[in-house]
Amino acid sequence: MRTRKRNYSQSHANRGKLFENLIDMTNNQYRNNNFADVRKIPPPLSILEVNGNQVDAKLEKATWVDYSGIYKGQAIIFDAKETKQERFPLKNLTDEQYKFLHSWNYKGAKAFLLICFWIKNKNEPEIYYLKFEQLEAAWIGQSNGGAKSIPLQFFRDHCVRIKSGIYTVHYLEAVGGAL
């Protein structure tokens, strides 16, 4: 397999958009190669006013996750999260998003998170695949008075790190191993 090094440098202001753009590029590559069909779910909006072809709207609280699709005949659903810290704060996921992932996971879909760590003084992020079962254990733990975040070292020790190669952010390689 041929690998290409990618330059991930970006401004702080565009950090969230860059990770989504990388995933969107990957999903386009997956679709173009008939590998999988995964789509970004538009964020929920409340329309405030319509004036001709201009619409004023506000973002609503996230109740859905970022992406859903199909891979190897199985539904997949996931959210992409980022942090500049060396831990993933569980508060970055809403209760509604967690319940959504939980519901789909227990109905047979492959549910997960992609977590992107932007580590200071590194040129590229560390991206990890967090299986729903790992998320669930942390979520239940915090509900019972445990840690409110998952340390980066947990990801390094127990999660699959997503690398770039033929595909920009080849996360389905990790999902495929779990199917």
How far apart are alpha carbons 5 and 54 in whole angstroms? Answer: 41
> Is the CB of residue 167 less than 8 Å from the CB of residue 30?
yes
Question: What is the reported pLDDT for 129?
Answer: 97
Which residues fall in the annotated binding site?
66, 79, 97
Question: What is the reported pLDDT for 174?
Answer: 92
Question: What is the reported pLDDT for 1?
Answer: 36
Q: Is 33 helix (H, G, I), strand (E, B) or coil?
A: coil
Question: What is the reported pLDDT for 15?
Answer: 47
DSSP assignment letter at 11: -
How do 67-71 and 74-83 pair as beta strands? antiparallel
How far apart are alpha carbons 167 and 14 in whole angstroms? Answer: 22
Question: What is the reported pLDDT for 91?
Answer: 95
DSSP assignment letter at 44: P
Per-residue pLDDT of the chain in tens (179 residues, 90 and over written 9): 333 344 444 444 444 578 989 999 999 999 999 999 999 988 777 888 888 888 888 877 767 899 999 999 999 999 999 999 999 999 999 999 999 999 999 999 999 999 999 988 777 889 999 999 999 999 999 999 999 999 999 999 999 999 888 888 999 999 986 65
> Is the CB of residue 169 less than 8 Å from the CB of residue 23?
yes
Alpha helices in the chain (DSSP H): 15-32, 95-106, 132-143, 152-158, 172-178
CATH architecture assignment, domain 12-178: 3-Layer(aba) Sandwich (3.40)
Which residues fall in the annotated binding site for Mg(2+)?
66, 79, 97
User: Taking the model in full, what pTM does it have?
Assistant: 0.83
The CA-CA-CA angle for residues 60, 148, 43, to 5°, reads 20
> Is the CB of residue 141 less than 8 Å from the CB of residue 168?
no
**Domain coordinates in residue numbering, the chain:** 12-178
